[in-house]
Amino acid sequence: MRQSTAAASKLKSNDQQLSCVTNRIVAWYQGSPKKTANSKIVRSNGIDRSKDESELPASSRWRKISTGKWGPWQRTELTNPRTRSALTQKSRQIHLPRGGTVTIYPGLLSKTQRATLSQELLSSNLFRQYEIQGMPEPRVHFLLHEQATDEPEAPQPGYRYGSVRMKACPLRGLPKLCRLSKIVGKRAGVESWNIGVNPVFYRDGKDRIGAHADDDQGESCILSVIVASPIPLRRLLIQPKPTKIVDRTVLGTKQKGNKRLKLKTGNGDIVDDGVDEQHELRLGPGDAYCMDGEMQEHYVHSLPPDEHSKGSVEGRRIIVVFRSGTQKVFKKDSGKPCNLAALEPRPDLCFTFGNEIKDLREGDIYGGRQLRAMNAHRSTQRSVSGNKVMGCDAITVSRDREDDTFVRFSFAAETRVGGGSMLTSLQKGYPVRVFRTSALHNKYKAVAKKSGPKSKSNVYRYDGLYHIESAVEELGDKVNDVSLGLSNMINRKSEIIFRLCRSSENSVSSMRLLRRIVIERMTHSKVTSNNDLRKNCPKKIIVN
């Protein structure tokens, strides 16, 4: 009897110890004592895995171009490296079909290492805000290099992508990160990160990075260490690079100028397999992943926004990217220093519909920065300003069609890039501000004045409010009406043709504004005789 009591007491003690260990593991994974109902314990090394297939550490899905339907997410096979050593003992690899390898290093950093490294990065006051296409990037970051000096005006090793120029600061100024760079260099077999060490800070779930390939400076190895990450874990999405060809066949119809995916076989031949693919990684704090140069040739990767952690400090994600490739030197840095307020989650964008923008007048010429400063056009989705929830408040027109007139014209946008926003405005009946650019080739193009914005980039003329009349998806000889919503859409890459008509709510009539545009164009062309102006000024508006 005593033995059974002692055994039961020992079993209860073991259960309590196991419970304490489990709680510590949960707290370590979450990185925060605060728990939410949506919290999921998901890790790449298999501990406390969620059974949800969408939360696998590495998963893939496939889609046939002929049907346009995606298959279910499936677990991706993780293989051992070909050369096993003490440095690669815990690593696993994903071999991508089109070429390239992703190596995963689970549990590279302990909880204590992550905490001290996060504190060192956030207290460094080195984060900078960069702009791309005139808009602030939805993240802040900076560059470090072991060869950089303390002289700010001297040329330094740097990194360039698009219009962004980054000058490196000395890596020795952050000793913990300097030690980590040597450790991960040994793991990846890289002697020196000659492009630099790039800490990146995502302030919340709204911060993101779009689909891109790290091939601007011939990167041969890109290793990223996740220092902090929210729960549920954010996903890293990998998909093939789009390759443009003249024609392609979709659903038995030919479309020109669309994107097509091609598969590279083992012998180097390019074949068309008619299959699209997506790969997803959900790695937690302390994990690391390495992408090789061959992957950058065939694939792009992105960090999509996360709805669960928008506007929340708990949605912060900090990674450190170690880059090896072709070293370059820059004299100037295109970013701006960030203060502590810039590291807080950003407020949600607020869009203004109609003619409520101060100092915005019909027929006037503006620069791109002016429009963004006035909140007249935020360029959130290339030429479309808005989002799918609130709708589209403004567009810029830079391409014309044969049947376009000043009063009515057609505008094409992909579903995922602006098309969804414009469909929302169509369904809600919201007006859209229209800006025509100097890139147009018809008689309605914008013309810069001598006193206007002086830049080689495009200028924009405000032509007033327009209403969206209809939306169709053209598939060869077939026309699919999508005015009622996205239920009939084939996929997010579908292109929608919108038909817009100038609204009667404008303060300036279409005739008066069009006459003014013609006079300004003729004046800019140095044709100022009354006869020429009389010939070109319209006497009536043609409405199709």
What is the model's pLDDT at position 100? 93
Task: Select from 322, 290, 308 the least CA-distant residue to 94.
Answer: 290
Q: Give ranges for CATH 2.30.280.10 in the chain.
A: 365-536
> Are residues 486 and 530 in contact, defined by beta-carbon separation less than 8 angstroms?
no
Task: Select from 516, 225, 535 the least CA-distant residue to 362.
Answer: 516
User: The whole model's pTM is what?
Assistant: 0.66
pLDDT of 334 over the 50 cut? yes
Grade residue 514 by pLDDT with cuts at 50, 70 and 90: confident
- Please tell me whether residue 263 adopts helix, strand or coil conformation: strand
CB atoms < 10 A from the CB of 144, how many? 25
Q: Give tens-digit pLDDT for 41-99.
A: 233 333 333 334 334 578 888 876 666 677 888 888 888 776 655 455 678 899 998 89
pLDDT of 309 over the 60 cut? yes
What is the model's pLDDT at position 301? 93
What is the model's pLDDT at position 199? 97
pLDDT of 361 over the 90 cut? no
Instruction: Please state, in angstroms and rounded to a whole number, the distance separating the CA atoms of residues 444 and 406.
Output: 7
Over pLDDT 90: what percentage of the chain? 30
What is the model's pLDDT at position 329? 95
pLDDT of 325 over the 90 cut? yes
> Are residues 313 and 31 in contact, defined by beta-carbon separation less than 8 angstroms?
no
Q: What is the mean pLDDT of residues 227-231?
A: 88
Residues 365-536, CATH architecture? Roll (2.30)
Instruction: Please state, in angstroms and rounded to a whole number, the distance separating the CA atoms of residues 469 and 440.
Output: 22
Largest CA distance in the chain: 118
Q: Give tens-digit pLDDT for 400-446.
A: 887 888 889 999 888 777 888 888 889 888 999 999 988 887 778 88
Instruction: Please state, in angstroms and rounded to a whole number, the distance separating the CA atoms of residues 380 and 135.
Output: 8
Please state which of the four CATH numbers 3.40.50.720, 1.10.10.10, 2.60.120.590, 1.10.287.70 is assigned to the domain occupying 113-235+282-339.
Answer: 2.60.120.590
Q: Give tens-digit pLDDT for 464-490.
A: 999 999 888 766 566 677 766 554 444
> Are residues 436 and 446 in contact, defined by beta-carbon separation less than 8 angstroms?
yes
What is the model's pLDDT at position 75? 87
Half-sphere exposure of 292 (CA within 13 A, CB side): 14
What is the model's pLDDT at position 30? 39
Q: What is the mean pLDDT of residues 298-324?
A: 84
Q: Give tens-digit pLDDT for 339-350.
A: 877 777 776 666
What is the model's pLDDT at position 251? 32
Backbone angles phi, psi at 264, to 5 degrees: -95, 120
What is the model's pLDDT at position 3? 45
At residue 238, what is the residue type?
I
What is the model's pLDDT at position 194? 94
Q: Give ranges for CATH 2.60.120.590 in the chain.
A: 113-235+282-339
What is the model's pLDDT at position 82? 65
Most confident of 40-54, 344-358, 493-507: 493-507
Q: What is the mean pLDDT of residues 333-357?
A: 78
The mean predicted confidence, pLDDT, of the chain is 75
Half-sphere exposure of 381 (CA within 13 A, CB side): 22
> Are residues 289 and 281 in contact, defined by beta-carbon separation less than 8 angstroms?
yes
Grade residue 147 by pLDDT with cuts at 50, 70 and 90: very high
Grade residue 523 by pLDDT with cuts at 50, 70 and 90: low
